[in-house]
């Protein structure tokens, strides 16, 4: 363990960090470009908005299947998971270039590529916890810049290749690009656990299948926490509801801009603007939210970011001019940066760290379900009304209602907690409010925890 601690945060660890940055750009940033192909896929397969939107929805939903990847990492290690994911992603996109129907596209580019991206991305984040101890927080923050780089570059590359050689050849090239995840995985050679720990729960193999299954669910899907912890319950319901509307602008913005008369290249540029601003705003938001003045109040910052995200959609309703859409992308990107930076910090505030991984497992599963059904249902609404404004009205409804629900619910929970404490013993530190009614670990101890953290495309 001592040798592992001495070798952490130096030497090869920084090469692993560089590989993690590339992985996040290749995997988590990739779905941002699908909107560029939306109109072409509709024309190719004579499909409705709802039918076409199932493709990116399946990809994003599978990409967020965190617990599935954690099982693979535990059994075979991070390097194997990353390289297997790169292989699946490449095969999925190459196969999609030969698809004759949308249903085949759902399986290849949607499910197979999404699953491969899930393996590569989540394992790439996990391995940072083995290579970094002192600079673990900084390493994760630097790795997340890969997402913003992917959001910036993928749409531009997609539009250029689409204009030059069509969507089938573009998907074929994308398959080759995603195979570079295997190269990133090769860099991530196995490292000792810095805490010198051994594999958890070895006794499970000796128990009957029913007990083992129950313990596995207990570890990765924390239904008991959901039932007992009011803060976790409110936050999980709020974010799950929010996700019904959060992904809609990312999928429908480019088709809406093209439908409104914006040139295709300029329409693709809109997504890149969101990604470019994210590069600078997301780290800044993360630093600000980490200040002690916001301790115990991050949920209100998160709710404010969600509210801003919902209100910004009305800009698209008011005007579809390119200049107005640029303003919309700037505001949306700022709000997205706040959401992305705060999502897991808030979750750490409401859940004890020894159960964080299991709480996060249930959180990501519920999140992926709403990410899957939200865009197709909205696409169906657009098909019925023939009005793209429905996308932004629907998105605003889910985002604004989720923001108000979380803020008001936590405010009521905080007031109830203060009244309860006041009736017993005066609070020593009233600025720090524990929503789960159980004393949690200090933030400094949390950062040194070796718990696996899943990161989403938020």
Digit-coded pLDDT (tens) for 376-424:
998 898 889 888 899 999 999 999 999 999 999 999 888 888 887 777 7
Average of per-residue pLDDT across 264-283: 87
Dihedral pair phi/psi, residue 426, rounded to 5°: -60, 145
Digit-coded pLDDT (tens) for 66-108:
677 777 877 888 889 899 999 999 999 999 999 999 999 999 9
Average of per-residue pLDDT across 274-297: 79
Instruction: Locate all alpha helices (DSSP H) within 206-355, ordered by sequence.
Output: 209-220, 223-228, 230-246, 248-259, 264-289, 298-318, 322-350
Digit-coded pLDDT (tens) for 99-158:
999 999 999 999 999 999 989 988 887 788 778 777 766 677 677 788 888 888 999 999
Please state the pTM of the whole predicted model. Answer: 0.75
Q: Which of 45-54, 62-71, 394-403, 433-442 is predicted with the least confidence, judged by mean pLDDT?
A: 433-442
Q: Quick one: residue 19, left, alpha or beta (phi over 0 = left, psi -120 to 50 = alpha)? A: alpha
Digit-coded pLDDT (tens) for 167-213:
999 999 999 999 999 999 999 887 654 444 444 444 444 456 666 65
Q: Tell me: pLDDT of 270 over 70.
A: yes
| Nearest alpha-carbon partner for 301 in 242, 333, 345, 248 | 345
The set of residues, in sequence order, having a beta carbon less than 8 Å from that of 389 and lying 6+ positions away, is 316, 317
Structure tokens at 443: 């933030």
Residue 4: CB atoms within 10 A of its CB come to 16
Tell me what pLDDT residue 89 has: 94
Contact 325, 257 (CB under 8 A): yes
Tell me what pLDDT residue 457 has: 53
Q: Which of 11-15, 95-99, 101-105, 273-277 is predicted with the least confidence, judged by mean pLDDT?
A: 11-15
CA distance 227 to 233: 7
């Amino acid at each position: 363990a001592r040798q592992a601690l001495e070798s952490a945060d130096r030497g090869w660890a920084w090469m692993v960090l560089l590989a993690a940055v590339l992985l996040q750009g290749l995997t988590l940033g990739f779905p941002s470009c699908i909107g560029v192909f939306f109109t072409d896929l509709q024309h190719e397969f004579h499909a409705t908005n709802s039918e076409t939107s199932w493709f990116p929805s399946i990809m994003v939903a599978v990409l967020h299947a965190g617990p599935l990847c954690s099982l693979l990492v535990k059994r075979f290690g991070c390097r194997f998971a990353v390289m297997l994911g790169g292989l699946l992603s490449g095969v999925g996109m190459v196969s999609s270039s030969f698809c004759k129907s949308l249903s085949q596209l759902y399986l290849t580019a949607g499910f197979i590529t999404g699953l491969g991206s899930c393996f590569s991305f989540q394992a790439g984040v996990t391995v940072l916890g083995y290579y970094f101890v002192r600079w673990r927080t900084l390493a994760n923050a630097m790795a997340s810049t890969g997402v913003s780089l992917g959001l910036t570059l993928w749409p531009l590359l997609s539009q250029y290749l689409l204009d030059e050689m069509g969507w089938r050849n573009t998907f074929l090239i994308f398959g080759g690009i995603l195979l570079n995840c295997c190269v990133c995985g090769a860099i991530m050679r196995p490292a000792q656990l810095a805490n010198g720990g051994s594999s958890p729960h070895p006794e499970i193999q000796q128990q009957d299948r029913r007990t083992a299954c129950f313990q596995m669910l207990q570890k990765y899907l924390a239904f008991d926490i959901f039932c007992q912890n009011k803060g976790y319950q409110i936050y999980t319901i709020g974010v799950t509801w929010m996700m019904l509307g959060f992904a809609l602008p990312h999928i429908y913005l480019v088709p809406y801009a093209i439908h409104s008369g914006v040139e295709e290249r300029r329409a693709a540029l809109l997504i890149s603007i969101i990604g470019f601003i994210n590069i600078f705003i997301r780290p800044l938001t993360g630093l600000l939210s980490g200040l002690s003045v916001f301790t115990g109040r991050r949920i209100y910052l998160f709710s404010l970011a969600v509210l801003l995200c919902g209100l910004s959609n009305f800009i698209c309703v008011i005007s579809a001019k390119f200049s107005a859409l640029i303003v919309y992308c700037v505001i949306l990107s700022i709000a997205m940066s706040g959401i992305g930076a705060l999502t897991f910090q808030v979750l750490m505030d409401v859940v004890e760290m020894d159960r964080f991984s299991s709480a996060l497992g249930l959180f990501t599963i519920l999140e992926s379900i709403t990410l899957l059904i939200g865009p197709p249902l909205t696409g169906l609404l657009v098909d019925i009304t023939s009005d793209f404004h429905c996308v932004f009205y629907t998105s605003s409804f889910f985002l604004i209602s989720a923001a108000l629900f979380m803020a008001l619910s936590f405010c009521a929970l905080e007031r109830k907690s203060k009244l309860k404490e006041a009736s017993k013993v005066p609070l020593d530190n009233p600025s720090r409010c524990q929503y789960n009614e159980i004393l949690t670990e200090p933030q400094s101890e949390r950062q040194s925890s070796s718990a696996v953290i899943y990161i989403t495309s938020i």
